[in-house]
């Protein structure tokens, strides 16, 4: 039986992860995925949206994966390769050359990443969207405050304009609710 192993955080599981795991599985009969623990991510200066347990559960649900193990430190790769009788270590090409020192104990391959998708890109887009929504909300609150102020002033004045301001205020806010 030919065994393959890969390592990663696998946060915000996406199509790029699925395609990587599918390609890795095609190199062997058994795929082991080592997922970085929350503690190890902290050492690497990374923070995940999902906890290790959640990421593990998600990756275990992928049909290409046979076993999931924790990745606790940089040094464990050589130990894992020996412990699990691994034939191939497969990584994304963003790690090109970083694990060539393990070629004396197994085959090391670097696969192309899926274009236009990455967890980093998803996180950046999420933060950008959040900023845009906050700005929109701020604009809405300011507009609401101005209209409410106008409405309150018109009621105090009890002028004939109060009815017009009320309908203007109601019409403008209707599009937001």
Q: So which residues are the catalytic ones?
A: 44, 46
Compute φ and ψ for 176, nearest 5 degrees: -95, -15
Neighbouring residues of 100: CB distance < 8 A, sequence distance ≥ 6:
108
Tokens, residue 89: 């270590």
Q: Rounded CA gap, 173 and 146, in Å?
A: 12
CA dihedral 143, 147, 148, 152 (to 10 degrees): 160
Of the candidates 71, 82, 74, the residue with the CA atom closest to the CA atom of residue 104: 82
């Amino acid at each position: 039986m030919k065994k393959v192993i890969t390592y990663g955080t696998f946060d915000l599981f996406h199509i790029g992860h699925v395609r990587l795991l599918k390609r890795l599985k095609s190199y062997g009969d058994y795929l082991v995925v080592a997922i970085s623990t929350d503690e190890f991510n902290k050492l690497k200066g990374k923070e995940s949206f999902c906890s290790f347990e959640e990421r593990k559960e998600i990756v275990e649900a992928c049909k290409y994966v046979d076993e999931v193990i924790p990745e606790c430190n940089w040094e464990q790769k050589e130990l894992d390769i020996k412990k699990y009788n691994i034939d191939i270590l497969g990584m994304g090409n963003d790690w090109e050359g970083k694990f060539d020192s393990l070629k004396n104990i197994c085959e090391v391959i670097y696969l192309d990443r899926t274009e236009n998708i990455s967890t980093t890109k998803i996180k950046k887009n999420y933060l950008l969207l959040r900023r845009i929504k906050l700005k929109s909300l701020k604009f809405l609150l300011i507009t609401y405050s101005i209209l409410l102020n106008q409405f309150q002033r018109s009621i105090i004045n009890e002028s004939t304009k109060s009815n017009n301001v009320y309908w203007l205020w109601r019409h403008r806010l209707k599009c937001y609710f």
